[in-house]
Amino acid sequence: MIKLRRLERRYPLGKEKFFYVLRDINLDIEEGEFVSVMGPSGAGKSTLLHILGMHDSGWAGEYFLAETAVHHLKPKERATLRNEQIGFVFQQYHLLDDLTVYENLDIPLSYRRYSKGERAALVADMLDRFQIVGKKDLYPSQLSGGQQQLVGVARAIIAEPKLLLADEPTGNLHSSQGEEIMELFRKLNDEGMTIVQVTHSEKNASYGKRIIQLRDGWLVRENR
């Protein structure tokens, strides 16, 4: 599913001096895997996730997603590939405050080629699947953190991505809410979705099938 070769991300510090966030990353993730990325703050976990999610394009090296050489794609082609393959869950949920739950779920679909009818059906399915039909007209500020993240996950998978990227998805939740989200991830993974999550929590990492350790931008260890 994902193949990274000699991947590197750096920022200029001065004349010919750079600050390296990621160095010489070589990584393979198979389809259907559930991978947790761990490491101390500043290790490059979120940067790696944003590169995988194609939010960041200032990297060097090779990145293959589903056999497609991302490093050769133009920005528009990358955006199309991302929209086809990837869903993203954020630590701070990042629901749009001015939109209802229903409208928040509809947003990713509005940026993809779905007809109005298809969008309505998919949103209805998702509300049903996540058991939040009763909350469809509420605004994010009217939901608890766990409920907001639930909507965040629903929004990430509504366009049926093959790869789900999650950046500390339970970081802002208390433990029972966190468990609920992680159970949901496990279920999605069991259904065949590839998941890569960034987490600080050993417990959450244990939901995955593989753990990758990053330190100072280097991939230091892989546990299966």
Partner 1 sequence: MNDLKFAFRQLRNSPGFSVLAIVTLAIGIGLNTAIFSLINDLFLRGLPFKEPSRVVHLFEGDKSRDLVDIGVSAPRYEHFRDGQTLFDGFAGENFFLFTLTGLGDPVQVFGGRVTSSYFDVLSVRPILGRNFLPQEQEGADVAVVTKNFWQKRLGGDPNVIGRSIALDGTAHTIVGILPNMPATWFGANPIAEVWTTKPFQIPGFTYERMMRGTSFLRVVGRLKPNVTLKQVKAALPSLDQSYRTQYPNKIDSSLVTTAKTLPEDVTENFRAGFITLFAAVTFVLLIACSNVANLLLVRFSGRRREIALRMAIGASRAGIVRLFVFESLLVSVIAGGVGAFVAWRLVPLVPRMASNFLPLEANTASSLSLPVLLFTIGLSILTGLLMGLYPAMQASRADLVDGLKEGGRGTSGSIRQQRFRKILVCAQVALSVTLLAGAALLITSFMRLSQQNLGFRSQHLWTGAITLPTAQYPDTASRQRFVEQLLNALHDVPGIQNATVSGDTPLNGGNQTLYARGDRDLPPLEQRANAPSHDAAPDFFKTWRIPILAGREFNEHDTADSQRVVLISQTGAKKVFPGENPIGKTLLVTSAATPCEIVGIVGDIRSQRIKQEPGMEFYLPWSQDNFPFVNVAVLSPLKTEAVTKLVQSALSKVNPGLAIAIPQSMDAIVAQALGQARLMMILLGLFAGVALLLAAVGIYGAVAYSVAQRTGEIGVRIALGAQAADVLRLILIQGLMPVVIGLGIGITVALALGRLLRTQLYQVSPHNPALLLTTAIVLGLVALSACLFPARRATQVDPIQALRTE
Which residue ranges make up the site for partner 1 (CB under 8 A)?
50, 53, 55-56, 76, 79, 82-83, 88, 90, 92, 94, 96-98, 107-108, 110-112, 141, 155, 159
By beta-carbon proximity to partner 1, the closer residue of 54 and 211 is 54
For the CB of residue 44, give the shortest distance to partner 1 in the complex, in Å: 13
Q: How would DSSP label each residue in 123-156? A: HHHHHHHTT-GGGTT--GGGS-HHHHHHHHHHHH
Q: How many CB atoms lie within 10 A of CB 69?
A: 11
Q: Which residues are CB-neighbours of 123 under 8 A, at least 6 positions away?
A: 102, 105, 106, 109, 158
By beta-carbon proximity to partner 1, the closer residue of 108 and 146 is 108
Closest to 177 measured CA to CA, from 131, 146, 140, 144: 146
Q: Which residues are CB-neighbours of 85 under 8 A, at least 6 positions away?
A: 65, 66, 161, 162, 163
For the CB of residue 148, give the shortest distance to partner 1 in the complex, in Å: 13
By beta-carbon proximity to partner 1, the closer residue of 56 and 180 is 56
By beta-carbon proximity to partner 1, the closer residue of 114 and 218 is 114
How remote is the C-alpha of 30 from its chain's centroid?
A: 16
Helix residue spans in 158-200 (DSSP H): 175-190
By beta-carbon proximity to partner 1, the closer residue of 73 and 211 is 73
For the CB of residue 94, give the shortest distance to partner 1 in the complex, in Å: 4
Alpha carbons within 13 A on the beta-carbon side of 196:
26
For the CB of residue 179, give the shortest distance to partner 1 in the complex, in Å: 25
For the CB of residue 108, give the shortest distance to partner 1 in the complex, in Å: 5
For the CB of residue 11, give the shortest distance to partner 1 in the complex, in Å: 12
By beta-carbon proximity to partner 1, the closer residue of 35 and 51 is 51
Question: What is the C-alpha separation between 154 and 106, in angstroms, rounded?
Answer: 10
